[in-house]
């Protein structure tokens, strides 16, 4: 789907909703239909979420518009994120609900803006945004963390992602997941999650570990060691129980289905 089609589809959904639910027409016009681009609409929507008396909504909106204009990658990433929601979350029937209401999408978009500011050496405002995102959305992502595109935060409540964590493209993460550190040493201390990984609700991934491509982490698991690509791990501590489906992040299959026994278990 092209970038323009994401925006035109969102506008069409907003127009239809304004006709169907006149009580929401003001919200839809001020949040979407008033603007000429997805970036400007998001700058407004996120600033309304995070602004307050001390750091005002207009000042944040201007800051976010500047970030979007100065770094076009952000706009490309959020388009992939909202498409990921549409493709993987059956609760989403289009782009309108994620844009307006899904705190996972909103928190991730706000993180992307904070990450841009962090990379511009504007650490204090980036950390302020981290704090505000945590308070408003219940999602705590350090602005220095590196997160790719096409990410789904499903429900998102209580997701924690630490400073040196890396999350590659096309990853799905459920609520109450932690990508955390161990100990108090500085430097690389958080997980590296490769492309295509699915992390179930409540899973805790701790330390400088690598989660291989298209691995599946079962709900409630505690992962303290590297996970091989294309494998499923479950338990406390997590252990390998078999192969993962071909595309865990895309298929969103959370039930424990052993697709084939791994070589280590067959021996």
**Per-domain boundaries in the chain:** 1-138, 158-267
pTM of the prediction?
Answer: 0.93
Give 141-188 pLDDT, tens digit per residue: 999 999 999 999 999 999 999 999 999 999 999 999 999 998 888 899
Over the stretch 67-111, which tens digit does the pLDDT of each residue have?
999 999 999 999 999 999 999 999 898 999 999 999 999 999 999
Q: What is the pLDDT of residues 2-49, one digit of tens each?
A: 558 999 999 999 999 999 999 999 999 999 999 999 999 999 999 999
Pick the CATH number of 1-138 from 3.40.50.620, 1.10.10.10, 1.10.3130.10, 3.40.190.10: 1.10.3130.10
DSSP secondary structure letters along 82-123: HHHHHHH-TT-SSSHHHHHH-HHHHHHHHHHHHHHHHHTT-H
| Residue 52 in tokens | 């307050």
What's the mean per-residue pLDDT of the chain?
94
pLDDT for 219 beyond 70: yes
What's the token pair of residue 231?
């494998």
Between 3.40.1190.20, 2.160.10.10, 3.10.20.30, 2.40.110.10, what CATH number should domain 158-267 receive?
A: 2.160.10.10
pLDDT above 50: residue 264:
no
- Give the per-residue pLDDT at 87: 95
């Amino acid at each position: 789907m092209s970038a323009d089609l994401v925006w035109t589809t969102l506008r069409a959904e907003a127009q239809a909703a304004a006709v169907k639910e006149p009580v929401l027409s003001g919200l839809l016009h001020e949040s979407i239909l008033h603007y000429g681009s997805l970036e400007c609409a998001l700058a407004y929507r996120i600033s309304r979420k995070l602004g307050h008396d001390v750091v005002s909504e207009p000042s944040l909106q201007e800051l976010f518009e500047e970030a979007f204009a100065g770094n076009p990658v952000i706009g490309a990433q959020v388009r992939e994120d909202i498409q990921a929601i549409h493709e993987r979350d059956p609760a989403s029937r289009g782009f309108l609900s994620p844009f307006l209401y899904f705190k996972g999408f909103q928190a991730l978009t706000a993180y992307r803006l904070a990450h841009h500011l962090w990379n511009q050496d504007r650490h204090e405002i980036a950390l302020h945004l981290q704090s505000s995102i945590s308070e408003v959305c219940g999602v705590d992502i350090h602005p220095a963390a590196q997160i790719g595109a096409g990410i789904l935060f499903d429900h998102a409540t209580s997701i924690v992602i630490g400073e040196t964590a890396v999350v590659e493209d096309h990853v799905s993460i459920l609520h109450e997941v932690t990508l955390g550190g161990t100990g108090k040493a500085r430097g690389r201390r958080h997980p590296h999650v490769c492309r295509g990984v699915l992390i179930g609700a409540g899973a805790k991934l701790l330390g400088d570990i690598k989660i291989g491509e298209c691995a599946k982490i079962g709900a409630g698991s505690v992962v303290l060691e590297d996970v091989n690509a294309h494998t499923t791990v479950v338990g406390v501590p997590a252990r390998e129980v078999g192969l993962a489906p071909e595309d865990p992040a895309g298929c969103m299959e959370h039930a424990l289905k052993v697709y084939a026994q791994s070589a280590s278990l067959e021996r």
